[in-house]
């Protein structure tokens, strides 16, 4: 009774590829609903138009390219519609994190890369941490939709903090909040941050603040995730009135793209059900200066309404 | 600046395999939370103990083997810990539906297969539709946990009906039901089924009935899914009081395993938040007779409490 089932056989395989940490972080954000309505990685035209005009070719507002780049020219060999297995660079053994249906593979020229980085990061200087990370990923851009298997190391490393966008919307519903201010942080919060959140709550007559931490890769010198987490939880415990702060986090590497990243932060907080976002005086290194020490040009925070 | 990222290169690949419709249905049920706390396909020892004692080697109650079988002896070549891509037999082009981390590959002997089918289906007769389907899948059992990419054709073919276990729990919460009777069906409901649901509601003082349809592969002669769906919706619209019936479905092929399948139906309705299950007089073909026409030995239905 051992009939053949057709296309079986261990001699077949699908091609795989270890992707960059940035591409893996994009996959996690896509899977966690933060990057709705995107369904995968952008192609060259999308990446260029997003960089220049903050619009995809379908006229969707999007502030930064969401891409899968590689240094490997062999990627040009993929065929349209082929499924490839994307392997997670951040977990030992590099398990598959997603399956990508390849739409196209294109090569970015020096000019393309210049357009992207100068628009997104405000500079083409390789000393800028965002520019450096972007360029190191390579110039072959593999576009196409992805289906994601897991949230990488985030749920195991941050079991009490990592949450998807729908999970956060559920927390907000359970808390009974209809007006929520998101506060972005990659570091412990100091006294001024605490006051900033409370002022936003007060002036907007908001129900609460979502303290929403970057759980992904940080730059050298940033405070480790577990220290930041404990510090923030202690601050909320001692200094915030009951049911006015929810602490959570998302799995994404910092891009250090300044104002563009602030807009991305706004987009994905909107996907998580927040109504407002506090944008810092130097949000995601808006004020980075390459040739001189980083210093603020303007000391101010703004709260933007996500409508 | 084009640094190497290490293990890149399109010459690498992960092995893939088109799986049986039954194994794909298992993947969908695992992904949709219906088969909690299972995390993948059982090995030979689990399958045999489940068949004989309805317990896994970890002493978890489970009524039927949840397995990935193949006719292909090349599967024996897989190594422990290897990731393989499982391809969906029910979608054109056979896209990847899941990644399995292979634990082991074993061969079932004639005696193993006899133990499984006689315990699970009550017979080893190849004319039994469940026995036939089981045996046609082959005797090489690929065990190991899986991570699932999508719910196969169910969400696109049944957009208004397919739901995961957490989605059903949410529907029940929204409806404000704390006592819910599940009614299993693979066919349109007739007048006696309607009455049965209402009697169960009445006698249990339950809040409502979940009419929960099998959306997977049926046996020849069963009513097509769309016809069944429309018929049931019309019946509920005309004959059920408001907020006493929720219509939904799950993506699973009928096994025709009789009482064992009734227990599986109980387990996964419990995972979906139901408190009771109506078990029919011939639930999942409990009364199938191979050598004579199927006929009831006992006309009765029972309602079981899922506690």
The token pair that represents A229 in the structure block: 């987490």
**Residues in A touching B6 (Cβ below 8 Å):** 18, 89
Which residues, 6 or more positions from A51, have their beta carbon under 8 angstroms from its beta carbon? A64, A65, A115, A116, A119, A120
B175-196 pLDDT per residue, tens: 999 999 999 988 899 888 899 8
The token pair that represents B77 in the structure block: 């070549």
Mean pLDDT of B31-37: 96
Cβ contact, residue pair B149, A75, below 8 Å = no
Distances (CA, A) of A303 to A256, A266, A278, B72: 20, 10, 4, 61
Cβ contact, residue pair A10, B17, below 8 Å = yes
Q: Which strands, in side-by-side order, build the sheet including A302-305?
A: A245-250, A208-214, A180-185, A276-279, A302-305
- Report d(CA B266, CA A260) in Å as an integer: 51
Residue B211 pLDDT > 50: yes
Find the closest chain B residue to A4 by CA distance: B71
Question: How confident is the model at residue A9, as a pLDDT?
Answer: 44
Question: How confident is the model at residue B2, as a pLDDT?
Answer: 39
Residue A203 pLDDT > 70: yes
Residue B283: which pLDDT band, with cuts at 50, 70 and 90?
low
Q: Is A75 on the interface with B (CB under 8 A)?
A: yes
- Could you tell me what percent of chain A has a pLDDT over 90? 70
Q: Is B96 on the interface with A (CB under 8 A)?
A: yes
Cβ contact, residue pair B10, A74, below 8 Å = yes
**Residues in A touching B135 (Cβ below 8 Å):** 1
Distances (CA, A) of B83 to A269, B25, B80, B193: 35, 20, 9, 45
Coil, strand or helix: which one is B44? helix
Residues of B annotated catalytic, as ranges: 186-187
Coil, strand or helix: which one is A120? helix
Residue listed under structure tokens 């970015």: A108
B69 forms beta bridges with B141
Distances (CA, A) of B272 to A169, B166, B188, B287: 21, 6, 22, 27
Residue B75 pLDDT > 90: yes
Residue B304 pLDDT > 70: no
Question: How confident is the model at residue A5, as a pLDDT?
Answer: 46
Distances (CA, A) of B33 to B39, B188, B211, B289: 10, 26, 18, 33
Cβ contact, residue pair A138, B12, below 8 Å = no
φ and ψ of A55, to 5 deg = -135, 140
- Report d(CA B235, CA B240) in Å as an integer: 7
Residue A1: which pLDDT band, with cuts at 50, 70 and 90?
very low
- Report d(CA A273, CA A73) in Å as an integer: 41
B80-93 pLDDT per residue, tens: 999 999 999 999 99
Q: Which residue from B97, B189, B256 is spatially nearest to B265, judged by alpha carbons?
A: B256
Residue B284 pLDDT > 60: no
Neighbours of B110 (CB within 10 A): 9
Q: Is B111 on the interface with A (CB under 8 A)?
A: no
Those of residues 146-175 in B touching chain A at CB distance below 8 A are 147-150
Residue A217: which pLDDT band, with cuts at 50, 70 and 90?
confident
Give the single-character DSSP code of A81.
Answer: T
* Closest approach of B282 to chain A, Cα-based (Å): 28
Mean pLDDT of A40-61: 97
Mean pLDDT of B66-92: 96
Residue B242 pLDDT > 80: yes
B122-137 pLDDT per residue, tens: 999 999 989 999 999 9
Distances (CA, A) of B130 to B49, B116, B152, B274: 19, 12, 22, 27
Going through chain B in order, the beta strands assigned E by DSSP cover 13-18, 40-41, 69-70, 83-87, 96-101, 104-107, 140-148, 180-185, 208-214, 245-250, 276-279, 302-305
Find the closest chain A residue to B146 by CA distance: A149
- Report d(CA A191, CA A183) in Å as an integer: 14
Give first-to-last CA distance, chain A, whole Å: 62
Question: How confident is the model at residue B305, as a pLDDT?
Answer: 66
Cβ-nearest to B70 among A8, A93, A135: A8
**Residues in A touching B108 (Cβ below 8 Å):** none
- Report d(CA B166, CA B271) in Å as an integer: 8
Residue A302: which pLDDT band, with cuts at 50, 70 and 90?
low
The token pair that represents A211 in the structure block: 């303290």
B46-63 pLDDT per residue, tens: 999 999 999 999 999 999
Question: How confident is the model at residue B112, as a pLDDT?
Answer: 98
Q: Which stretch of A260-264, A272-276, B285-289 has the lowest confidence by average pLDDT?
A: B285-289
Cβ contact, residue pair A3, B71, below 8 Å = yes
- Give CA angle at B249 (B243, B253), nearest 5°: 155
Mean pLDDT of A146-167: 95
When the pLDDT of each residue in chain A is averaged and rounded to a whole number, the result is 88
Cβ-nearest to A10 among B12, B15, B149: B15
- Could you tell me what percent of chain B has a pLDDT over 90? 69
Q: Which residue from A112, A91, A124 is spatially nearest to A43, judged by alpha carbons?
A: A112
CB–CB of A289/A262 below 8 Å?
A: no
- Report d(CA B107, CA B70) in Å as an integer: 10
Question: How confident is the model at residue A282, as a pLDDT?
Answer: 56
Neighbours of B31 (CB within 10 A): 20
CB–CB of A102/A89 below 8 Å?
A: no
Residues of A annotated catalytic, as ranges: 186-187
Residue B159 pLDDT > 80: yes
Question: How confident is the model at residue A288, as a pLDDT?
Answer: 42
A228-251 pLDDT per residue, tens: 999 999 999 999 999 999 999 999
* Closest approach of A279 to chain B, Cα-based (Å): 33
* Closest approach of B211 to chain A, Cα-based (Å): 26
- Report d(CA A138, CA A135) in Å as an integer: 6
Residue B302 pLDDT > 60: yes
Torsion sign over Cα A225, A231, A234, A236: negative
Cβ-nearest to B149 among A14, A74, A149: A149
Distances (CA, A) of A215 to A23, A136, A167, B275: 15, 21, 16, 39
Residue A289 pLDDT > 80: no
Cβ contact, residue pair A1, B135, below 8 Å = yes
Question: How confident is the model at residue B222, as a pLDDT?
Answer: 78
* Closest approach of B241 to chain A, Cα-based (Å): 29
* Closest approach of B136 to chain A, Cα-based (Å): 6
Residue B6 pLDDT > 50: no
The token pair that represents B250 in the structure block: 């799950």
The token pair that represents A139 in the structure block: 């110039």
Strands A302-305 and A140-148, how do they pair? unpaired
Question: How confident is the model at residue A295, as a pLDDT?
Answer: 39
Residue listed under structure tokens 């004989």: B52
Torsion sign over Cα A203, A206, A209, A210: negative
Cβ-nearest to A71 among B5, B83, B137: B5
Specify the higher pLDDT residue, A58 or B3.
Answer: A58
ipTM over the 0.90 cut-off: no
Specify the higher pLDDT residue, B1 or A78.
Answer: A78
Furthest CA-CA distance within chain A: 77
């Amino acid at each position: 009774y051992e009939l053949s089932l057709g296309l079986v056989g261990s001699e077949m395989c699908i091609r795989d590829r270890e992707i960059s940490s940035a591409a893996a972080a994009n996959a996690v954000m896509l899977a966690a609903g933060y990057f709705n309505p995107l369904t995968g990685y952008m192609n060259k035209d999308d990446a260029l138009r997003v960089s220049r005009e903050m619009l995809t070719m379908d006229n969707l507002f999007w502030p930064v390219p969401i891409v899968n780049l590689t240094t490997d020219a062999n990627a040009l060999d993929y065929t349209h519609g082929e499924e490839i297995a994307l392997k997670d660079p951040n977990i030992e053994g590099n398990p598959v994190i997603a399956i990508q249906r390849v739409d196209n593979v294109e090569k970015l020229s020096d000019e393309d890369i210049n357009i992207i980085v100068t628009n997104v990061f405000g500079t083409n200087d390789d000393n800028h941490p965002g520019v450096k990370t972007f360029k190191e990923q390579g110039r072959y851009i593999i576009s196409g939709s992805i289906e994601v298997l897991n949230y990488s190391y985030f749920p195991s490393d941050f079991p009490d903090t990592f949450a998807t966008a729908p999970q956060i919307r559920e927390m907000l519903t359970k808390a009974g909040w209809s007006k929520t201010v998101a506060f972005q942080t990659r570091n412990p919060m100091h006294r001024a941050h605490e006051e900033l959140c409370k002022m936003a709550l007060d002036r907007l007559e908001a129900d609460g603040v979502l303290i929403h931490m970057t759980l992904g890769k940080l730059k050298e010198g940033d405070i480790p995730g577990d220290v930041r987490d404990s510090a923030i939880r202690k601050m909320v415990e001692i200094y915030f009135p009951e049911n006015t702060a929810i602490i959570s986090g998302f799995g994404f590497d910092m891009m250090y793209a300044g104002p563009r990243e602030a807009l991305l932060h706004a987009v994905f907080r909107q996907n998580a059900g927040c109504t407002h976002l506090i944008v810092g005086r130097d949000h995601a290194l808006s004020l980075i200066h390459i040739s001189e020490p980083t210093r603020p040009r303007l000391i101010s925070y703004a709260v933007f309404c996500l409508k």
